[in-house]
Amino acid sequence: MIKVGIVGGTGYTGVELLRILATHPEVKLTAITSRKEDGLPVADMFPSLRGRVDLAFSSPDKAKLTECDVVFFATPHGVAMAQAPELLAAGVKVIDLAADFRLQDVAAFEQWYKMPHSCPELLKEAAYGLVELNREAIRKARIVGNPGCYPTTMQLGLAPLLKAGIIDASHLIADCKSGVSGAGRKAEVAMLFSEAGDNFKAYGVSGHRHTPETLERLQHLSKDKIGLLFTPHLVPMIRGMHSTIYARLTTEIDNAALQALFEKAYENEAFVDVMPFGSHPETRSTRASNMLRIALHRPNDGDTVVVLVVQDNLVKGASGQAVQCMNLMFGLDETTGLMHVPVLP
């Protein structure tokens, strides 16, 4: 059994990790930290876990994290890099759901996250945790930087096109929407029901910190310089993410061949569903699952391909993807504990 610790178990990604790992057949939950909730039974805070998780939260100084096999960080940016050196020295693997180990460019990290990187030497060996595009590196890694939710949709939506070299890589557009849970579990006026409900808005239009991450990773897929216009939006729902991606075709290709390109790219991927050409995937078709769905459109059979991508931002966009990485790192089938059917309605 894999002994698992979770640092930051009281947020949405933390409880999502608990939900998934509580029924994982190869996992023993060993420690769940929260300085504020030290001693509180997990099931008292999250009644959905009654009868599944019998641990109590413990403060970080009491949690025996160095006795775990792997520690997930479901924490704000900056926490994982402060604790990773000690854990790695003890032979513990680290999976960070924040941004500490996503970017290889230290200057870009420090610019966008407004903090110095405390262990750039570890950053160099960190594997980027998008399994479908970086499987072998993750399999061998001691430390994984779990991708951001928006970057997951943009990369998987664009990868087949960029690898084939059939689009203008310098003029990509991603129009993305996320549910309110993407902002985390915190008291903030903009996230109040009466503020976010019955409302729709863009944010981060002049620059969003998922942009440099996405650019860095997309550049690995193309010999041409990547140019990306990315606009995120907040929609009045709890879970779900929908990205509409636009790219200009530079090669003559018919719709059947375009569809075949995506079907071939993801034919062996358990968590990527390429839907029939012209489909309209809905966020609810992935709710509470690790599935990501893609559909292609080509308005008026012109030179623009439109890629629709949906996922649950807390699962494939965060905690489910992290567990997928853990499975690989410990030699398990990557689908282990993750074959949840989406919740409908």
Q: What is the pLDDT of residues 178-189, one digit of tens each?
A: 999 988 887 788
Q: How many CB atoms lie within 10 A of CB 249?
A: 16
Cis peptide before 212 (omega within 30 of 0): no
* Residues contacting 340, CB < 8 A, separation 6+: 20, 288, 289, 290, 315
At residue 191 the predicted structure's pLDDT band, cuts being 50, 70 and 90, is: confident
Token pair belonging to 149: 């939710």
Residue whose C-alpha is closest to residue 111's, from 213, 22, 28:
213
**pLDDT on residue 283:** 98
Burial 192-212 (b: 16+ CB within 10 A, else e): eeeebeeeeeeeeeeebbbbb
- The torsion angles phi and psi of 204, rounded to 5 degrees, stand at 60, 30
Percent of the chain with pLDDT strictly greater than 90: 93
At residue 193 the predicted structure's pLDDT band, cuts being 50, 70 and 90, is: confident
Per residue in 80-136, pLDDT (tens digit) is: 999 999 999 999 999 999 999 999 999 999 999 999 999 999 998 999 999 999 999
What is the average per-residue pLDDT within 62-67? 93
**pLDDT on residue 110:** 94
Catalytic residues: 149
Map tokens 């002994």 to a residue: 3
**pLDDT on residue 182:** 87
Q: How many CB atoms lie within 10 A of CB 13?
A: 30
Judged by average pLDDT, the poorest of 157-161, 181-185, 316-320 is: 181-185
At residue 42 the predicted structure's pLDDT band, cuts being 50, 70 and 90, is: very high
Whether the CB-CB separation of 36 and 12 falls below 8 Å is answered with: no
What is the average per-residue pLDDT within 10-23? 96
Rounded Cα distance between 4 and 162, Å, is 37
Could you tell me the domains of the chain?
2-125 (3.40.50.720), 150-312 (3.30.360.10)
**pLDDT on residue 183:** 82
- The torsion angles phi and psi of 139, rounded to 5 degrees, stand at -55, -35
Per residue in 245-274, pLDDT (tens digit) is: 999 999 999 999 999 999 999 999 999 999
**pLDDT on residue 190:** 79
> What is the side-by-side strand order in the sheet with 27-33?
27-33, 2-7, 70-73, 93-96, 143-145, 127-128
Position 55 pLDDT exceeds 80: yes
Position 290 pLDDT exceeds 80: yes
Token pair belonging to 88: 């790695």
**pLDDT on residue 40:** 96
